[in-house]
Structure formats: structure tokens, C-alpha cells
Amino acid sequence: MTEKIIIAGSGGQGIMLLGKVIAETAMRENKFVTWLPAYGAEVRGGAAHCAVIISDTEIGSPLIDKADTLIAMNALSIIKFQNRIKNKGLLILNSSLIHQFKKAKVDILECPCTEIAEGLGNNKVANMVALGAYLAKKTVIPIRAAQEAINEMAPADKKALVEINIKALQEGAKSANG
């Protein structure tokens, strides 16, 4: 099993963190994993993306040409990365910010990540909503392990935010399961 994921959105949407939670969870599940950020002169509001590869065997290149999954959190990221999805690959699409996108030969899962996050009281957890939707759709790593990872990754002074992040994860999964 090798799963190549590109996560894209804008700076401030927690794109890097979303990738790190996937990577941390995969590590805990004894998978090989690489996490590679786009590390240009990134700024809040600018474009941001990272590449995560999960595998049962040693990973060579951490770069992704064609992704098994693209998680697109804003409209710009769709323009930039729509051609980087593999034939029959998965597209998790933040339908709160991306409207009426269609693409042949791609499995599209629309999830109103930002609206669900706002409903929970903090639009910053839209990334965890997307993660929940992704893990409900593709069982590469168990959602329970992701919850544990979130809990342990949270620094001591941010433990209060664990609950809403896990709630977001669950809501995302619920949304994907329709």
C-alpha cells in the first residue's frame, strides 16, 4: 500500500498541520511516511501546500507527481492542482469555498469544511473536518488513531483546543458518510 496525498489551500488554513496530523498518525500505525512542505516564501493568505506519502515499504522520493488523493481547501488550490490527481483518484473538496467544480475520472467528495467548522464555532478547524472526511472515505489510517495523535500533538497550552478539533474530525467523517 502506498498512498500519496497533496493537501492545498491558503496560508492560515492549517494546511501544513493537516499534513502533519496524517503523518504523525501514520507513524503511530507503524507506516513509513514522508511529509514535505512547499517551503517558498509562504505567507498568511498566500498559497500553501504539502505532500504526504504513506507506505508499507520504504519511501524513495518524497515528491508527488500524481496524487492518489488531493485535499483542496480553497478555489486557487483546485486551479493549481487539479491535474495532479491520478486517474480515478480521490478529490476532497471544501465546497464552502469551491463551487461547482466537476472533473471526469476523479472521485469527488464535496464537504462544506469551512461551514461545518463555523458551525462548531471556529473556522480554523476546517482542516480537521477535511481530515475526517478523508479518513471516512479512505481507510489508510484509522480515525481513532488520528484522534489520539491530535490529542498528543497539542502543546500543553493548547489542550483546550483538542476537543473542538476532534469534534471537527468526527463531523467531517459524518458528512462524508452522508
Partner 1 sequence: MKKKILMTGNEAVAQGAIDAGCTFYAGYPITPQNELTAYMAVHMPGKPGIFIQAESELAAINMVYGASAAGARAMTSSSSPGISLKQEGISYIAGAELPAVIVNVMRAGPGLGNITPAQSDYFQATRGGGHGDYHLIVLAPASVQEAYDQMFLSFDLADKYRAPVMVLGDGMLGQMMEPLQLSAVSFQPSAENKKPWALTGCAGRSPNVIKSFYMDTNELEKFNLNLQKKYALIRQKEQRWEEIFLKDAKTIIVAYGSMARIARSAVHALRGKGKKVGLIRPITLWPFPEKAFTKHLTSNTRYLAVEMSYGQMLEDVQLAVGKAKVDFLGRAGGGVPSEEDIIRRVNG
Q: Where are the alpha helices (DSSP H) in 31-161?
A: 75-81, 113-120, 126-137, 143-153
Could you say whether residue 69 binds partner 1 (CB under 8 A)?
Answer: no
Q: Binding of partner 1 at residue 60 (CB under 8 A)?
A: yes
In the complex with partner 1, the residue whose CB is nearer, 50 or 120, is 50
Which residue in the set 6, 8, 17, 24 belongs to the binding site for partner 1 (CB under 8 A)? 24
In contact, 136 and 127? CB cutoff 8 Å: no
Left, alpha or beta for 87 (phi > 0: left; psi -120 to 50: alpha)? beta
What torsion, rounded to 10 degrees, do the Cα atoms 62, 64, 67, 69 define? 50
Cβ proximity to partner 1, 62 vs 119, nearer residue: 62
- State the DSSP code for 59: -
Q: How far is the CB of 109 from partner 1 (least distance, A)?
A: 26
Size of the site for partner 1 (CB under 8 A): 18
27 binds partner 1 (CB under 8 A): yes
Interface residue with partner 1, options 1, 40, 87, 100 (CB under 8 A): 40
How far apart CA 53 and CA 32 sit, in angstroms, is: 8
Closest CA to 116 of 125, 105, 107: 125
The region of 16-24, 73-81, 126-134, 135-143 touching partner 1 under the rule CB under 8 A is 16-24
Q: In this structure, what C-alpha cell is assigned to residue 167?
A: 469534534
What is the torsion angle, in degrees rounded to the nearest 10, for the CA atoms of residue 161, residue 90, residue 47 and residue 169?
-10
Minimum distance between the CB of residue 114 and partner 1, rounded to whole angstroms? 26
Among 17, 23, 98, 169, binds partner 1 (CB under 8 A): 23
Distance CA 19, CA 36 (A): 9
Q: Is 154 near partner 1 (CB under 8 A)? A: no
Quote the least distance from Cβ 8 to partner 1, whole Å.
17
Q: Which residues bind partner 1 (CB under 8 A)?
A: 20, 23-24, 27, 32-37, 39-40, 59-63, 65
